[in-house]
């Protein structure tokens, strides 16, 4: 470790440590001799850009993968985990950044999958259900244990993932982006749980791209950059500037509204209502016009109806009332593919489930939505497809070994750029992005917003949703606030965070 990373020794006992840990995938060095300590009863926050090696290090510590070289020390003794189950048996659990739930199974069955509670007559489903109800009470979530996971919204699925890790009663808990899909109130509850756990001596490793949020919970911070630890400091010595400076080398911002000519109305939403399965309106009588060259941000808390609005425009959900008009043509009757062909594209919130095909390569994912452009009858022009892939990788700056690389080999931020690049390759005139920065670092965020600004300059109409108020005040020309399925306020880019939060029904004090 360099002098910068040594810092003052922490008084708390080190329960798990990495010593000179390296991990290579062929010629790619994901980790380069990292030293990392986890202290008893403390929260260690790990910061770094996408691709810095954070998730790789955590997977090694939790037994998911093995290091190429180096040692893992548990309670002062070298250990080698053959699997995540073996690490879990030693008290180490991980909440992965990307959800690993079985959508067709119930909440109860997901939480106890592979470690069912046995009774004299087989699996004791009643006891499992009782324990799940207790976990949901602790997390202050009204989720029925017998509900299929696929019926839950993304934030609730994240809660189930957290509950599964808590149910193991671990002494070391690794949280990789646990709040990426949570509302502000759900984050508060999770932080209360974390404080209760550390008070009982549980050690927490916390990874987050929400920098301000992470500072409220951490005891000390470590920064990884390009597979190397670049900085360590206790909480009293760090602030946002310290984190960003050590992560990316300079103070990034997310840009400002582009100087683009806003022309005619590209998308008009008129009196739109969208019901849930019970008939209750998730979006109610909503109207909104967006011009070519304009960037509109839709802000709201979880459950405000942002996702339902965008998915209905894209054709994934059906409206019970209203019209969707694209460049003067009513499109509510069109399929998703027909809307894409007309120039309307959606980048979904859950990139793993809805945005990518995990068995395909980077290039195949990029070209998938544009396949009609290089296919004639039964024949595909490989040259045309290859050019589209190369142009897309270059234009959205995907860091990859090439189009043939597996999509799973990319960091979260680069996977998100593949999803955006795939939809931009369809040459849309209106693009909808649902939480485009979810789970990506500040550098990747800046690149995503740069892409949106560049698109607007070229006449693209951009609508993006966010639950981070700071992202409203970046590239958006106009901020539309949603609350309980309706538009509660509209602002220009000079508005304050406090006014946005107040219009959303969020407590400003929070």
> Domain extents for the chain?
14-248, 253-343+429-509, 352-427
Alpha carbons 158 and 166: distance in angstroms, whole number: 13
User: DSSP secondary structure string, 267-323?
Assistant: EEEEEEEEE-TTS-EEEEEEEEEEETT-EEEEE--TTSSHHHHHHHHHTSS--SEEE
Sign of CA dihedral 457, 463, 466, 469: positive
Note the pLDDT of residue 5.
38
Alpha carbons 120 and 78: distance in angstroms, whole number: 38
pLDDT tens by residue, the chain, 510 residues: 333 333 334 546 899 999 999 998 877 788 999 999 999 999 999 988 766 888 889 999 999 999 999 999 999 999 999 898 899 889 998 887 677 788 899 999 999 998 888 988 899 999 999 999 999 998 888 899 999 998 888 778 888 888 888 888 789 999 888 887 777 778 888 888 889 889 989 899 998 877 788 888 999 899 998 888 989 999 889 888 888 778 766 555 677 888 877 789 999 999 999 998 788 899 999 999 999 999 999 998 767 899 999 999 999 999 999 999 999 999 999 999 999 999 999 988 877 777 788 888 888 888 887 777 776 666 667 787 788 888 888 878 788 888 888 888 887 778 888 888 888 888 899 999 998 887 677 777 888 888 899 999 999 999 999 877 778 888 999 999 998 899 999 999 899 887 887 888 754 443
Residue with tokens 């190369």: 390
Note the pLDDT of residue 39.
93
Alpha carbons 475 and 445: distance in angstroms, whole number: 11
Alpha carbons 305 and 248: distance in angstroms, whole number: 34
Residue with tokens 């050690």: 203
Same topology, domains 14-248 and 253-343+429-509? Answer is yes
In Å, how far are 11, 12, 35, 49, 244 from 1, measured between CA atoms? Answer: 19, 19, 7, 20, 20
Three-state DSSP class for residue 175: strand
Alpha carbons 177 and 174: distance in angstroms, whole number: 10
Q: Please provide the size of the chain in residues.
A: 510
Please state whether 490 falls in left (phi above 0), alpha (psi between -120 and 50) or beta.
beta
CA-based R_g, the chain, Å = 23
Note the pLDDT of residue 248.
66
- Hey, what CATH class is 253-343+429-509 in? alpha beta
Give which of 485, 150, 501 is closest to 350, Cα–Cα: 150
Name the DSSP letter for residue 50: T
For the structural domain made of 14-248, what CATH number should be given? 3.40.50.300
Beta-carbon neighbour count of residue 134 at 10 Å? 12
Note the pLDDT of residue 508.
44
Give which of 469, 495, 450, 440 is closest to 97, Cα–Cα: 440
Alpha carbons 217 and 44: distance in angstroms, whole number: 9
Residue with tokens 């849930």: 276
User: DSSP secondary structure string, 186-253?
Assistant: HHHHHHHHHHHHHHTT-EEEEE-S-HHHHHTT-SEEEEEETTEEEEEEEGGG--HHHHHHHHHSS---
Beta-carbon neighbour count of residue 140 at 10 Å? 14
In Å, how far are 17, 18, 20, 73 from 77, measured between CA atoms? Answer: 10, 11, 15, 5
Name the DSSP letter for residue 52: S
Residue 285 is encoded by which pair of tokens? 């009588």
Residue 481 is encoded by which pair of tokens? 């606030």
Residue 130 is encoded by which pair of tokens? 């009782």
Note the pLDDT of residue 1.
38
In Å, how far are 86, 248, 266 from 346, measured between CA atoms? Answer: 41, 29, 15
């Amino acid at each position: 470790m360099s002098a910068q990373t040594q810092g003052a020794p922490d008084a708390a006992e080190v329960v798990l440590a990495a010593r000179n840990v390296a991990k290579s995938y062929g010629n790619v060095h994901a980790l380069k001799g990292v030293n990392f300590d986890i202290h008893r009863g403390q929260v260690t926050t790990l910061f770094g850009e996408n691709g810095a090696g954070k998730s790789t290090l955590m997977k090694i510590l939790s037994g998911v993968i093995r290091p190429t070289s180096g040692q893992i020390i548990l309670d002062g003794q070298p250990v080698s985990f053959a699997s995540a189950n073996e690490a879990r048996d030693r008290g180490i659990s991980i909440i992965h950044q990307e959800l690993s739930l079985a959508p067709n199974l119930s909440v109860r069955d997901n939480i106890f999958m592979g470690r069912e509670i046995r009774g004299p007559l087989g699996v004791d489903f009643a006891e499992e259900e009782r324990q799940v109800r207790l976990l949901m009470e602790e997390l202050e979530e009204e989720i029925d244990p017998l509900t299929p996971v696929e019926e839950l919204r993304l934030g609730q699925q994240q809660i189930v993932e957290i509950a599964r890790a808590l149910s193991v009663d671990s002494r070391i808990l690794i949280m990789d982006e646990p709040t990426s899909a949570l509302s502000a109130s759900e984050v508060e509850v999770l932080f209360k749980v974390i404080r209760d756990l550390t008070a009982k001596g549980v050690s927490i490793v916390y990874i987050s791209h929400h920098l301000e949020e992470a500072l409220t919970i951490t005891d000390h911070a470590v920064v990884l950059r390009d597979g190397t630890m670049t900085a360590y400091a206790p909480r009293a010595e760090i602030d946002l500037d310290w984190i960003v400076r050590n992560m990316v080398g300079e103070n990034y911002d997310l840009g400002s509204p582009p100087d683009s000519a806003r022309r005619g109305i590209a998308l008009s939403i008129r009196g739109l209502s969208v019901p849930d399965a019970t008939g209750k309106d998730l979006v109610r009588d909503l109207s909104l016009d967006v011009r070519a060259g304009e960037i509109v941000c839709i802000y709201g808390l979880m459950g405000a109806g942002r996702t339902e609005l965008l998915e209905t425009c894209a054709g994934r959900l059906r409206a019970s009332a209203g019209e969707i008009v694209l460049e003067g043509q009513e499109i509510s009757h069109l399929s998703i593919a027909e809307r894409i062909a007309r120039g309307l594209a959606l980048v979904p919130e859950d990139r793993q489930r809805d945005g990518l095909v995990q068995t395909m390569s980077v290039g195949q994912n990029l070209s998938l939505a544009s396949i009609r452009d290089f296919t004639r009858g039964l024949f595909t022009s490989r040259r045309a497809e290859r050019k589209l892939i190369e142009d897309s990788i270059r234009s959205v700056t995907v860091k990859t070994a090439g189009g043939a690389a597996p999509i799973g080999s990319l960091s979260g931020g680069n996977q998100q750029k593949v999803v955006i690049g795939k939809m931009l390759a369809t040459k849309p005139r209106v693009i909808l992005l649902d939480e485009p920065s979810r789970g990506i670092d500040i550098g990747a965020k800046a690149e995503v917003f740069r892409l949106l600004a560049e698109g607007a300059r070229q006449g693209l109409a951009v609508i993006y949703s966010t639950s981070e108020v700071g992202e409203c005040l970046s590239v958006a020309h106009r901020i539309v606030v949603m609350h309980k399925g309706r538009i509660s306020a509209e602002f220009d880019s000079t508005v304050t965070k406090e006014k946005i939060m107040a219009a959303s029904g969020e407590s400003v004090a929070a």
